[in-house]
Structure 1
């Protein structure tokens, strides 16, 4: 059976990679994005299988209307890839209120609006798989990417709650903690803070640590997720990327070791 996908942020990066993969598999796709021009050639190549939907996920009313249009296009939704997002890069002190609110409007609230809009349809049909795209970086804060990690960590927590809430209705939820793929996140998807000279040394250290490697092509993440969709009991969380898997485990082990090192102090307090 062919599946119907609803993909946000479908014009580039991971969204584009999964749009292409779904169409290649014979599935149908409603591809949502603010800029649909990059999808024009793909629409010509797959007439009748790809519907392009202009959508700004920060507009809650537009999201609900867009989801209604998506359901009307193909009659159902089987896979929802909640992928739209961006990066606010800079030290916490440097970020303006406008930048912070705009960042969370896309990365957190936008994903929540999509979740709220699709769940009633998935519940009515008694099936569906909601894929929440977060990040391996959501495992903890890191200098200059703290706001990005915070938004993704918040989405992780909300998504775990949603998974419990919708399981009785036959809906599956998986958090995709994506590794560092070459999605354009650090270029066209980035908003920069105004650099404070006091952080120049730290910035130089971070630049040296990260290097110039853009990461693997987003298409290399596709096989793992496509296999995930065929599992009768998929996990609620999946780290996507071997190197990222190793890094997340190291972070979790270091955190556990720190907890244990201060266990005596923790147990001084009741509760």
Structure 2
């Protein structure tokens, strides 16, 4: 947890800060006395408590615009002098069967969820490296635990985010920078109400009907405030984990999927091991 030497106010840079989890993160950081650069496609300071105005900088930002991201980070550093915690929260969700996605729809899903986080990470790294300190938090999803019908492209974008972030964590550690991946479950945000959907293909009608039956009871989601409380504990830790699961459903599902994969690997162990037998390089190989 946070030590007595780290109680000074810190500066956050949060994307997707105007609503949902991003807004909850922004409010929680401000309430504890920290400074926040809140960035989103549409955001104004009036959306937040006026008591915190001197510690809040709102920036209109489309994270898919790499040049705009770098400019926003430069503005943030100029305004507050430094950055301590960067939360890549901006994200979108597209639902549909894999076969139904157009090229534009598939690319759009990755533009925000992967490239938006990539551009922001690249933009803040020079500043964090110069400080030899900082914490980048990537907001992933339960969808990164596995692919599921109708959310496959969303899962793909989050899988990609996590693969990039694992490498980033090892690269950034050399400079004293921490990286964490947060995998939230269900929270009362507008992710689903604002999601994009593909044009349904008739062939997938029965599968869609089955999914609708499974979802008929709806979901019982949590308040974003609880995710914000968990995030504060994460960034206050002297030894934050690479991954943090948020919610009992996600926690249990992660273990179930891990056990299923381990059982499958074990069942095919002989085939896996037989596919490797080191030999000297072929003649002429370099």
Interval containing the TM-score (normalised by the shorter chain): over 0.9
Give the C-alpha shift of residue 41 in structure 1.
3.0
Which residue pairs with 1:195 in the alignment? 200
C-alpha spacing 1:43/1:71, structure 2 compared with 1 (3 Å)? farther
Query: Which of 251, 262, 271 is equivalent to 2:268?
Result: 262
Under a length normalisation based on structure 2, what TM-score does the superposition of the two structures give?
Answer: 0.91
Structure 1 residue runs of 5 or longer lacking an equivalent are: none
- Whether 1:237 aligns to 2:233 is no
Which residue pairs with 2:209 in the alignment? 204
39-48 vs 244-253, greater mean Cα deviation: 39-48
**Alignment deviations for residues 219-267 of structure 1 (CA, whole Å, 9 cap, x no partner):** 1112222111111111111111122111111011111111111112222
C-alpha spacing 1:68/1:214, structure 2 compared with 1 (3 Å)? farther
- Whether 1:20 aligns to 2:31 is no
Which residue pairs with 1:113 in the alignment? 119
16-25 vs 226-235, greater mean Cα deviation: 226-235
Contact 1:30 1:50 survives alignment (8 Å):
yes
CA distance in 2, matches of 1:34, 1:214: 28
Give the C-alpha shift of residue 208 in structure 1.
2.4
Contact 1:43 1:51 survives alignment (8 Å):
no
CA distance in 2, matches of 1:194, 1:214: 28
Q: Is the partner of 1:176 in helix, strand or coil?
A: strand
Give the C-alpha shift of residue 214 in structure 1.
5.2
CA distance in 2, matches of 1:115, 1:214: 33
- Whether 1:219 aligns to 2:225 is yes
Give the C-alpha shift of residue 209 in structure 1.
2.0
Give the C-alpha shift of residue 218 in structure 1.
1.2
Pair member with larger Rg? 2
Q: Is the partner of 2:140 in helix, strand or coil?
A: strand
Under a length normalisation based on structure 1, what TM-score does the superposition of the two structures give?
Answer: 0.96
CA distance in 2, matches of 1:43, 1:6: 18
Query: Which of 147, 153, 162 is equivalent to 1:141?
Result: 147
Contact 1:90 1:144 survives alignment (8 Å):
yes
Q: Is the partner of 1:235 in helix, strand or coil?
A: coil
CA distance in 2, matches of 1:42, 1:142: 36
Which residue pairs with 1:10 in the alignment? 17
Contact 1:9 1:33 survives alignment (8 Å):
yes
Which residue pairs with 2:71 in the alignment? 65
- How do 1:80-91 residues align onto structure 2 when only pairs under 5 Å count? 80-91=86-97
CA distance in 2, matches of 1:207, 1:98: 26
- Whether 1:33 aligns to 2:35 is no
64-73 vs 200-209, greater mean Cα deviation: 200-209
Contact 1:43 1:50 survives alignment (8 Å):
no
The aligned length equals 269
CA distance in 1, matches of 2:170, 2:110: 24
**Alignment deviations for residues 145-203 of structure 1 (CA, whole Å, 9 cap, x no partner):** 01111111111011110110011211110011111212211112x01000112111111
CA distance in 1, matches of 2:141, 2:114: 12
Which residue pairs with 1:97 in the alignment? 103
Where has structure 1 moved over 6 Å in runs of 4 or more? Answer: none
